[in-house]
Amino acid sequence: MKRIVIFASGSGTNAENLIRFFHNSDNASVIQVLCNNPHAKVLDRAKNLKVSSLCFNRVAFSKTDDVLNILKASKPDLIVLAGFLWKFPEFILNEFPNKVINVHPALLPKFGGKGMYGMNVHKAVVTNNETETGITIHYVNENYDEGAIIFQAKCDVDSNDSAEDVAAKIHELEMEYFPKVIAQLLNE
């Protein structure tokens, strides 16, 4: 059975979708949710779905081996960032080469980098009069949103779309494709 650990910072809709997707799988399951925000709704979602969760601070994540040791003990086959907003420390990435992935709410390399997450991305897409946008699932490296691209899915942006409209379209793409791409990666 393949083991998935999810890192999240916010509401946790992607995390919940992944937990539910793999709940009855014979091949993989979400074994843990790790979070950097003690008030994040993702912690409630994990608890309601009976998945272990743990909250940590910046020191435990990037200045000590605390989170690294938790990951080593969990032995994940894949670490999935689902709305996780902190840059991943290189020393953790080095311990899990090509095992950390992220979903970004735009077609990278467009609209990536520090500060480009959530509504910031969708507002930039609308402001720049883009005619399409989408999601990018990519490996995580030492730079924001620069890891090798695994998969992209596109959607149209209409001239009258608001940032909220774009967000809804992106959310649909994430819900549909993120679990499928993870399942495919775990079967390789």
Catalytic residue, from 104, 122, 138, 171: name it: 104
Is 104 one of the catalytic residues?
yes
> Which phi and psi angles does 24 have, rounded to 5°?
-105, 15
> Which phi and psi angles does 21 have, rounded to 5°?
-60, -45
Quick check: helix, strand or coil at residue 38? coil
Give every CB contact of residue 51 below 8 A, 6+ residues apart in sequence.
19, 30, 31, 32, 33
- For residues 25 and 120, what is the distance between their CA atoms, to the nearest angstrom? 35
Catalytic residues: 104
